[in-house]
Structure 1
């Protein structure tokens, strides 16, 4: 079954409308949504993969009707409750705020340095590199997380079972399928894999276009 968030290349969702040049936020509250998400993440209770999965776990009806930053806020609310930083009653305004540890609070002056530093996901790994640039590979036919039923994965449905070519080796990186579920980093080789549009879609507008996806080794088999 196609997951509600896995929309790439799906028919019936309407055209993709490019953002106006230079426009980042459509509404002022979008800036605040980004800010509070960054500030909450600074407490170290979750990682980027857990955060992504929180948005994916929204009820399909809500996911379909929420705007981009509404999804962010809904996912953040779930994370705050799940990790005990905030209670449901506090979120609903039905209980007084409880004092919490502010030692890791992200101050305004710390935002720019944190964003500049990023969150590198490359890690050492004992998993041998299986592929080299130029190798033909096929993605797994089923794009599901093999560690957790219904879990997070970075292999999109539209690329499942497709044949491509390794373009570049990125080194070894944290496996999102494991990291999103607090099962450890499970780092393994990560590859940039190039696919012709005709391999991914039955009637691409430009069949000779190429799409490059970053895919972990466990998503791939030799062609």
Structure 2
């Protein structure tokens, strides 16, 4: 059964209304502050991007469906801050009796003067790996059942709609951090990452445009060979 956040390619979730091209970057002022706060807290080094994604996935179904985009970010951030021991629930409620002291992580704060350079550098996820690439462009593969194989209900980047689907290797991206491991503090475990192309009808039996193609970036652990 798919999790509530795994909405890609799913039927019955209503019409998507894209924002107009001239829409402001942030619809409300606090959206910008929510993004800034999330980035600033991420710079403390207490979690990685996969852990933050999983924190959003773990929001209760009612919250996930009712919260807006940046509300999800803030709710997940609050959960991460508490789970990693950075702040307590009392701290977040502004009712802590702890006197004003310098936080142990204060030295890791992100100064305003460094923000542009840090954002420009990004967070590359390509790594050297001892795992050999099993597939080459043109190989036919099949995806496994979506789900984390080591953590029940854990994070994965294989969407449910692509489970047990047959596709073709388009490109090898090299080796990258494996999110299913990294999201649960089990190490980066880098492995080969591929661009895999699927016919739309291989993903949805009643595809509106069967001739369309969908390209997904998938880790080697998500794939198995198809005998020819």
User: Are positions 1:180 and 2:190 aligned together?
Assistant: no
Alignment-derived partner of residue 17 in structure 1: 17
> For structure 2, which runs of at least 5 residues remain unmatched after alignment?
none
Deviates more, 1:40-49 or 1:17-26: 17-26
Tell me how far apart the structure 2 counterparts of residues 104 and 53 of structure 1 sit (CA, whole Å): 23
Q: Mark the runs of 5 or more structure 1 residues left unpaired by the alignment.
A: none
- Tell me how far apart the structure 2 counterparts of residues 67 and 138 of structure 1 sit (CA, whole Å): 35
Deviations 1:122-162 (A, max 9, x none): 1111111100011111000x201001000000000000000
Match of 1:61 in 2: 62
Alignment of 1:221 onto 2:224: yes
Instruction: Check if 1:134 corresponds to 2:138.
Output: yes
**TM-score (ref. length: structure 1):** 0.96
SS at match of 1:103: helix
| In structure 2, C-alpha distance between the alignment counterparts of 1:133 and 1:22, rounded to whole Å | 39
- 1:108 is matched with which residue: 95, 108, 112? 112
Could you tell me how far apart the structure 1 residues matched to 2:10 and 2:50 are?
Answer: 23
2:192 is the alignment partner of 1:189: yes
- Rate the CA distance shift 1:74–1:205 in 2: closer, same or farther, 3 A: same
Equivalent runs, 1:147-186 vs 2, <5 Å = 147-186=150-189
- Count of residues in correspondence between the two structures: 222
Distance 1:164 1:17 in 2: 30
- How far the C-alpha of 1:98 sits from its partner, in A, is 4.9
Which residue of structure 2 aligns with residue 7 of structure 1?
7
Structure-1 separation of matches of 2:7 and 2:147: 15
Matches of 2:192 and 2:117, distance apart in 1: 29
Taking the aligned partners of 1:18 and 1:65, their CA distance within structure 2 comes to 18
Q: TM-score, normalised by structure 2?
A: 0.94
The alignment partner of 1:132 has SS state of coil
Give every structure 1 segment of 4 or more consecutive aligned residues whose post-TM-superposition deviation is greater than 4 Å.
none
